Amino acid sequence: MSRFLVPASLVLLMGFAVGDGHAQDRESLPVVWEVSAGILAPESVYYDAASGFLFVSNIGGGGPLKKDGDGYISQLTLDGKVVQSAWVRGLNAPKGLRSHAGTLWVSDIDRLVGMNIAQGKIIHEVAIPGAKFLNDVDCGPDGAVYVSDTLTSKIYRYLDGKVTVFAEGDELECPNGVLVEGGRLLVAAWGLSSDLAPKIPGRLFALDLKTKKKTLITKEPAGNLDGLEADGAGGYLVTDYLAGKVLRVAADGTTTVILKLAAGTADHAYLANRKLLIVPRMNDNKITAFRWGP
């Protein structure tokens, strides 16, 4: 591809923004807890049900593309207590998180890193040839790890020790959030760009895991989409990083704004049974948990 994207943090510094086009903005939700101690540029929050802990990927101070070794993973309880601010160190700019069979996977610029959750140590380092900005991660029931590369508009799959390109091209709209759901992969797109700023906001869509056929969920561009989680009621919660919004997308594509914050709302977690929405606020170096339910 000839196009390229600047990381979201740089886009913000350059002052680019995208119009929202959404109605029913809600400025706030009840805050359950908030934590900032030991948190530095948090990109993703993930709840591992087997261990009962929240994990947070911290990009660190060097920026989302720096291979400087200052990235780390924090371990928290569900009520916001920091167990270990640097549970695993030695990463560069870690972003998306997801676990499978006792391994926590994280994207780290151009590699996937697997951590043994029980031991709290790195056990896998998988280079992704050609990757430039690996972003969100999810795992299929077969153990396949899917990871988006927003900068090259590709989605990779890692399975049985082999890396393949699952899908690529303009139709992926520079993918960010990914979520395996049944026989399909949901994708929250950042939006296409021909220079330094996104010219066309992204949409939420699905790719069939077998045929790769694309089905739109939001027919129109929805925003510079980042985090993606099911809402427990047939819809989805998606963050718009640049606009600082958390969006609820119904199964029919109807989109409403449930929360408006400052820019930097990244890859969130949502626990439907607790009605707990946990948002990493990357530019503010903090994690905030809100009460929300459909």
Count of structural domains within the chain: 1
Nearest to 231, CA basis, from 209, 204, 213, 210:
204
What percent of the chain is modeled with pLDDT above 90?
87
Q: What residues contact residue 181 under an 8 Å CB cut-off, 6+ apart?
A: 206, 230
What is the mean pLDDT of the segment spanning 9-22? 34
Is residue 136 pLDDT above 80, yes or no?
Answer: yes
Mean pLDDT, residues 18-40: 72
Q: Give the C-alpha separation, 100 to 98, whole Å.
A: 7
Q: Give pTM, 2 decimals.
A: 0.91
Range of 287's domain?
A: 8-291
pLDDT of residue 27: 63
Reply yes or no on whether the pLDDT at 26 is more than 60.
no
Confidence of residue 198 (pLDDT cuts 50, 70, 90): low
Residue 25 has pLDDT above 60, yes or no: no
Q: What is the mean pLDDT of residues 144-162?
A: 97
Instruction: Report residue 205 CA to chain centroid gap.
Output: 15
106-132 per-position pLDDT tens digit:
999 999 999 999 999 999 999 999 999
Per-residue pLDDT at 19 exceeds 80: no
Q: What is the pLDDT of residue 288?
A: 98
Q: pLDDT grade, residue 192 (50/70/90)?
A: confident
Q: Is residue 267 part of a domain?
A: yes
Query: Residue 254: CB partners within 8 Å, gap ≥ 6?
Result: none
What amino acid is encoded at 213 in this protein? K
In a domain, 113, yes or no: yes
Rounded percentage of the chain residues whose pLDDT exceeds 70:
89
Q: What is the pLDDT of residues 46-77, one digit of tens each?
A: 999 999 999 999 999 999 999 999 999 999 99
Residue 266 lies in a domain: yes
3: in domain: no
- Whether 15 is in a domain gets the answer yes
- Residue-wise pLDDT for 231-273, tens only, equals 999 999 999 999 999 999 999 999 999 999 999 999 999 999 9
β-pairing, 97-100 vs 82-91, is: unpaired
Q: What is the total residue count of the chain?
A: 294
Backbone angles phi, psi at 185, to 5 degrees: -110, 115
The answer to whether residue 19 sits within a structural domain is: yes
Task: Please indicate, yes or no, if residue 27 is contained in any of the structural domains.
Answer: yes
CATH code at 21? 2.120.10.30
Q: Establish if 2 belongs to a structural domain.
A: no
- Residue 13 has a pLDDT of 31
Position 11 pLDDT exceeds 90:
no
Confidence check: pLDDT of 98 > 90 = yes
DSSP 8-state class, residue 79: T
Checking if the pLDDT of 24 tops 70, the result is no
Mean pLDDT of 26-45: 93
- The SS3 assignment for 73 reads strand
